[in-house]
Amino acid sequence: MSKIVLVTGGAGYIGSHACKALKKAGYIPVTFDNLETGWEDAVKFGPFEHGDLLDRARLDEVFAKWQPFAVMHFAALSQVGEAVMEPGRYWRVNVGGSLNLIEAAVAAGCLDFVFSSTCATYGDQDGVVLDETTKQTPSNPYGSSKRAIEEILRDFGVAHGLRHVIYRYFNVAGADPDGEVGEFHQPETHLIPLMLDAISGKRSALTLHGTDYPTHDGTCIRDYVHVSDLVDAHVLGLHWLEFGKGSRVFCLGTGSGFSVRQVVKEARVVTNKEVVMQVGPRRAGDAVCLVSGSARAVEELGWSPERSTLQQMVADAWRWHGSGHYNK
């Protein structure tokens, strides 16, 4: 059997780490990316195919050329605030693009599919550790678009035998411990790199988007997972499908949430530097608290999130932060 895996969004933060993990596991990751938010310099572990998920003809061409046995799907628009302001774009790109991809995969006989979903499909459910049985009530178009893709996968499973593993997680952090790839977005929107930019003087201050949430310190609470642990789970999901275990949903998290102020406090300890902060308004669509459990992934996949401590995630991100970034 071919060991080729098509990785959409493989030039992005999580996708590039997934390509490294796939190569280490003996697969050939073929990156498919339009480079809108990804970086060609991050494609280091297998072939690169430039293309857009909205271009069905290009997808068919890539499937015919490489004949992958599986797809690992990361490519998506993912900014909650932007999704609230531009819902049509999120439905068009995330859902329309994913439908194109799924139809192209089925047409090519590529029936193993690992999908990067999100805990944002659950909406705002405070005081609850989210798991696979929690009701999905997304509170923004980003979460809604991801839930729709999950439903498409289930429908194609019934109609065409498409086997899928769906992962729901929220905040991904850290960087490759070897320093080969890391987190870099333009513009940057994620808390930890924004915070490290403020520490290193690359920006004047870190903006706290709301300090009046009903939490212990007024800032949002999120569950953070180390990117290396996350992509290890994706490889395990691929193995799950290869072993014929059938379609499954897994939540990935530590079961512990940290507020924005707690992350800042840890950064002060790790870097021994102060974080300059300013208070800004809440962002539309932001939930108060999202914490995800991972008991099913631990028990059924044998997943072990060994690097997913706040100290380790900040330390690995800080090391990457000082190593230089990709050039557009």
Say how far residue 285 (Cα) sits from the centre of its chain.
Answer: 18
Residue 45 has which token pair?
């572990």
Going by their DSSP bridges, the two strands 248-251 and 70-73 should be labelled as unpaired
Three-state DSSP at 131 gives coil
Q: Name the token pair of 12.
A: 């992005």
Q: Tokens representing 142?
A: 């980003």
The candidate with the shortest Cα–Cα distance to 14, out of 235, 194, 300, 198, is 235
Q: Where are the beta strands (DSSP E) in the chain?
A: 4-8, 28-33, 48-50, 70-73, 112-116, 129-130, 163-168, 171-173, 206-209, 221-222, 224-226, 248-251, 258-259, 277-280, 289-292
142 is catalytic: yes
In the structure, how many helices (H) and strands (E) does the chain have?
A: 11, 15
Cα separation, 191 vs 203, whole angstroms: 13
Give the residue from 229, 221, 231, 192 showing the smallest Cα distance to 315: 192
Which regions of 228-315 does DSSP assign to beta strands (E)?
248-251, 258-259, 277-280, 289-292
Pairing of strands 258-259, 221-222: antiparallel
The DSSP output letter for 32 is: E
Q: Do 142 and 83 meet the contact criterion of CB atoms below 8 Å apart? A: yes
Calculated CA dihedral for residues 280, 286, 290, 296, nearest 10 degrees: -140
Cis check for the bond before 187: say yes or no (omega within 30 of 0): yes
Selected catalytic residue, list 13, 90, 122, 142: 142
- Which active-site residues does the annotation give? 142
